[in-house]
Amino acid sequence: MKIVDLSKTIEYNRQDPWFMRVKIKHKAHRKSKMLIRFFLGLPARLFPKGFEGWADDKIVSMGVHATTHMDAPWHYAPVVNGQPAKTIDEIPLEWCYGDGVVIDMTHKADFEEITLTDIQENLAATGAMIRPGTIVLIRTGRDQFIGTSEYPMRGTGMSAAATHWLIDQGVKVMGIDQWGWDLPLKYMVQQARTSAQQDYFWQAHLVGREKEYCHMEQLVNLGALPPYGFKVAVFPLKIKGASAAPARVVALFE
């Protein structure tokens, strides 16, 4: 079996927006050995010969949306079509594993939204089929900017119509290899101010107020995948009541 990792490495990056920075404290073997002796009350002579202690690490700060993650319906709104929205720990595991399809949108320019026509034309060209339970991955190629200050500012974005259509085909989980599912956040803010369109800002996310679905953001390596013929596994951390959770997303080929 071949496995392709579709997840970012969780690490500190000073180029990330301040509210997205990950901070991890690493504890070396030698330092932990002293703490172990103090905690266990065991003299050094009774430790195994050559024992150097064990390494340990602590995530000091990491938002649930800070790295490759899955957004739960609760992230979009407290209710979906009049029903309580699911938090990340309530997502059925059956949603998180299935046949994968990659839709190539690398030709789309920054700030140009992905339309329903774009999605349908790509599917017709590749022959990929979307069925209930398919996990759809949108490839934009913007993962090339990970680690730079440009990353949150660059990208296309899903339209509301395209998101609605995927859900209507029975898709419960979809994802993208850029910072967010919608057009870049600062661009949306600017357009909302200049155009005064109330329905422009965060249009694809807010589909989740009407229809239940999850999307993944900040995927990587979608260029290593064919249009179809593989499985996707995406199991988010089971964080009680959370709007999202980091996930290790992988593609599997038999």
CA distance linking residue 178 with residue 204, whole number of Å: 14
Q: What pLDDT score does 89 carry?
A: 98
CA distance linking residue 144 with residue 121, whole number of Å: 25
Q: Return the CATH class of domain 5-9+63-253.
A: alpha beta
- Condensed to tens digits (0 to 9), the pLDDT of residues 113-171 reads 999 999 999 999 999 999 999 999 999 999 999 999 999 999 999 999 999 999 999 99
Ramachandran angles phi, psi of 203, nearest 5°: -60, -40
Q: What pLDDT score does 38 carry?
A: 61
Q: What pLDDT score does 189 carry?
A: 86
Q: What pLDDT score does 31 carry?
A: 75
Per-residue CA distances from 172 to 42, 48, 132, 214, 243 (Å): 53, 51, 8, 6, 16
CA distance linking residue 234 with residue 229, whole number of Å: 17
CA distance linking residue 171 with residue 206, whole number of Å: 16
Per-residue CA distances from 221 to 23, 139, 218, 225 (Å): 24, 9, 10, 8
| Domain locations along the chain | 5-9+63-253, 23-61
CA distance linking residue 100 with residue 181, whole number of Å: 18
CA distance linking residue 4 with residue 221, whole number of Å: 8
Lookup: tokens for 12: 């500190």
Among the listed residues 90, 80, 94, 71, the one whose alpha carbon sits nearest the alpha carbon of residue 241 = 90
Query: What is the chain's mean pLDDT, rounded?
Result: 93
CA distance linking residue 207 with residue 228, whole number of Å: 26
pLDDT beneath 70, residues of the chain: 33-35, 37-41, 44, 196-198
Q: What pLDDT score does 69 carry?
A: 98
Among the listed residues 221, 202, 223, 181, the one whose alpha carbon sits nearest the alpha carbon of residue 65 = 181
DSSP annotation of 73: H
Lookup: tokens for 195: 């155009």
- The count of C-alpha atoms lying within 13 angstroms of the C-alpha of 82, restricted to the half-sphere facing its C-beta, is 0
Longest distance between any two alpha carbons in the chain, whole Å: 73
Q: What pLDDT score does 37 carry?
A: 64
